[in-house]
Amino acid sequence: MARPDSHPSDYAERVLEVVERVPPGRVMSYGDIAEYLGEGGPRQVGAVMSAWGGGVPWWRVIRADGSPPPGHEVRALEHYAAEATPLRPGTSRVDMRAARWDGTELPG
DNA sequence: GCAATGACTGGTA
DNA sequence: TTACCAGCCATTG
Protein backbone atom coordinates (compact mmCIF):
# COMPACT_ATOMS: atom_id res chain seq x y z
CA MET A 1 0.00 0.00 0.00
CA ALA A 2 1.06 3.53 -0.52
CA ARG A 3 2.15 5.37 2.58
CA PRO A 4 1.04 8.92 3.46
CA ASP A 5 4.65 9.99 4.00
CA SER A 6 5.79 8.81 0.56
CA HIS A 7 5.43 10.95 -2.55
CA PRO A 8 2.18 10.38 -4.50
CA SER A 9 2.62 8.35 -7.67
CA ASP A 10 1.38 9.60 -11.04
CA TYR A 11 -1.62 7.34 -10.69
CA ALA A 12 -2.34 8.79 -7.26
CA GLU A 13 -2.19 12.32 -8.65
CA ARG A 14 -4.67 11.39 -11.38
CA VAL A 15 -7.05 9.97 -8.78
CA LEU A 16 -6.81 13.08 -6.63
CA GLU A 17 -7.35 15.25 -9.70
CA VAL A 18 -10.63 13.50 -10.48
CA VAL A 19 -11.81 13.82 -6.89
CA GLU A 20 -11.20 17.56 -6.99
CA ARG A 21 -13.37 17.81 -10.11
CA VAL A 22 -16.38 16.24 -8.39
CA PRO A 23 -18.87 19.09 -7.89
CA PRO A 24 -20.42 19.78 -4.47
CA GLY A 25 -23.51 17.74 -3.72
CA ARG A 26 -22.27 14.97 -6.02
CA VAL A 27 -20.28 11.78 -5.34
CA MET A 28 -18.39 9.02 -7.13
CA SER A 29 -17.67 5.49 -5.98
CA TYR A 30 -14.14 4.09 -5.81
CA GLY A 31 -14.99 1.80 -8.70
CA ASP A 32 -16.38 4.70 -10.72
CA ILE A 33 -13.09 6.58 -10.44
CA ALA A 34 -11.05 3.53 -11.38
CA GLU A 35 -13.25 2.98 -14.41
CA TYR A 36 -13.19 6.68 -15.27
CA LEU A 37 -9.38 6.65 -15.28
CA GLY A 38 -9.24 3.30 -17.05
CA GLU A 39 -6.49 2.03 -14.76
CA GLY A 40 -6.22 0.19 -11.47
CA GLY A 41 -9.30 -0.85 -9.50
CA PRO A 42 -11.44 0.18 -6.54
CA ARG A 43 -8.85 -1.09 -4.06
CA GLN A 44 -6.13 1.06 -5.62
CA VAL A 45 -8.36 4.14 -5.50
CA GLY A 46 -9.12 3.37 -1.86
CA ALA A 47 -5.43 3.03 -1.10
CA VAL A 48 -4.75 6.43 -2.68
CA MET A 49 -7.54 8.07 -0.69
CA SER A 50 -6.31 6.48 2.52
CA ALA A 51 -2.82 7.83 1.97
CA TRP A 52 -3.33 11.23 0.34
CA GLY A 53 -7.09 11.81 0.41
CA GLY A 54 -6.68 14.43 3.12
CA GLY A 55 -5.90 17.12 0.55
CA VAL A 56 -9.04 16.68 -1.53
CA PRO A 57 -12.85 16.49 -0.96
CA TRP A 58 -12.58 12.85 0.13
CA TRP A 59 -16.21 12.76 1.35
CA ARG A 60 -17.29 12.88 -2.32
CA VAL A 61 -15.64 9.48 -2.82
CA ILE A 62 -17.63 6.68 -1.21
CA ARG A 63 -18.47 3.02 -1.62
CA ALA A 64 -20.81 1.78 -4.34
CA ASP A 65 -23.60 1.31 -1.79
CA GLY A 66 -23.36 4.92 -0.63
CA SER A 67 -21.48 4.27 2.61
CA PRO A 68 -18.84 6.86 3.57
CA PRO A 69 -15.29 5.66 4.38
CA PRO A 70 -14.89 3.78 7.70
CA GLY A 71 -13.91 6.02 10.58
CA HIS A 72 -15.07 9.18 8.79
CA GLU A 73 -18.85 8.70 8.72
CA VAL A 74 -19.57 11.62 11.02
CA ARG A 75 -17.26 14.03 9.18
CA ALA A 76 -18.75 12.99 5.86
CA LEU A 77 -22.30 13.56 7.09
CA GLU A 78 -21.39 17.07 8.14
CA HIS A 79 -20.17 17.85 4.64
CA TYR A 80 -23.24 16.25 3.04
CA ALA A 81 -25.46 18.48 5.14
CA ALA A 82 -23.45 21.55 4.11
CA GLU A 83 -23.52 20.63 0.40
CA ALA A 84 -27.12 19.38 0.29
CA THR A 85 -25.97 15.97 -0.87
CA PRO A 86 -29.04 13.70 -1.23
CA LEU A 87 -29.05 11.16 1.58
CA ARG A 88 -31.24 8.08 1.88
CA PRO A 89 -33.92 8.84 4.46
CA GLY A 90 -33.24 7.33 7.85
CA THR A 91 -29.71 6.26 6.95
CA SER A 92 -26.20 7.68 6.85
CA ARG A 93 -25.77 6.69 3.23
CA VAL A 94 -25.81 8.78 0.08
CA ASP A 95 -28.57 8.31 -2.49
CA MET A 96 -26.30 7.12 -5.30
CA ARG A 97 -29.07 7.21 -7.89
CA ALA A 98 -29.39 10.94 -7.39
CA ALA A 99 -25.90 12.00 -6.32
CA ARG A 100 -23.73 9.79 -8.53
CA TRP A 101 -21.54 11.93 -10.78
CA ASP A 102 -20.83 10.53 -14.20
CA GLY A 103 -17.78 12.68 -14.79
CA THR A 104 -19.35 14.13 -17.91
CA GLU A 105 -22.13 16.22 -16.42
CA LEU A 106 -20.58 19.59 -15.83
CA PRO A 107 -21.64 21.61 -12.76
CA GLY A 108 -22.82 24.37 -15.00
C1' DG B 1 9.30 -14.39 -5.62
C1' DC B 2 5.74 -15.28 -2.04
C1' DA B 3 2.20 -14.23 1.36
C1' DA B 4 -0.49 -10.70 3.55
C1' DT B 5 -3.13 -6.44 3.38
C1' DG B 6 -6.75 -2.95 2.21
C1' DA B 7 -11.19 3.96 2.71
C1' DC B 8 -13.85 -2.22 -2.87
C1' DT B 9 -17.60 -4.80 -5.53
C1' DG B 10 -21.26 -7.88 -6.94
C1' DG B 11 -23.71 -12.06 -6.02
C1' DT B 12 -26.16 -15.06 -2.87
C1' DA B 13 -28.60 -16.28 1.47
C1' DT C 1 -32.74 -4.75 4.43
C1' DT C 2 -28.22 -6.83 6.50
C1' DA C 3 -24.45 -10.48 6.50
C1' DC C 4 -21.16 -13.33 4.36
C1' DC C 5 -18.15 -14.84 0.52
C1' DA C 6 -15.12 -15.05 -3.55
C1' DG C 7 -12.80 -12.13 -6.87
C1' DC C 8 -10.12 -8.31 -7.70
C1' DC C 9 -5.10 -5.91 -8.04
C1' DA C 10 -1.21 -2.78 -6.68
C1' DT C 11 1.51 -2.12 -2.63
C1' DT C 12 4.15 -3.81 1.39
C1' DG C 13 7.31 -6.68 4.15
CATH of the domain at A57: 1.10.10.10
With respect to residue A5, please indicate whether it lies within any of the assigned structural domains. no
Q: Which nucleotide is nearest to A12 (CA to C1')?
A: C10
With respect to residue A108, please indicate whether it lies within any of the assigned structural domains. no
Spatial separation of the C-alpha atoms in residues A16 and A58, rounded to whole Å: 9
pLDDT tens sequence across A15-48: 999 999 999 999 999 999 999 999 999 999 999 9
Is the C-beta atom of A48 closer than 7 angstroms to strand B? no
Is the C-beta atom of A11 closer than 7 angstroms to strand C? yes
With respect to residue A69, please indicate whether it lies within any of the assigned structural domains. yes
- The domain total for chain A is 1
Is the C-beta atom of A4 closer than 7 angstroms to strand C? no
Query: Average pLDDT over chain A, rounded to whole?
Result: 93
With respect to residue A45, please indicate whether it lies within any of the assigned structural domains. yes
Is the C-beta atom of A43 closer than 7 angstroms to strand C? yes
With respect to residue A15, please indicate whether it lies within any of the assigned structural domains. yes
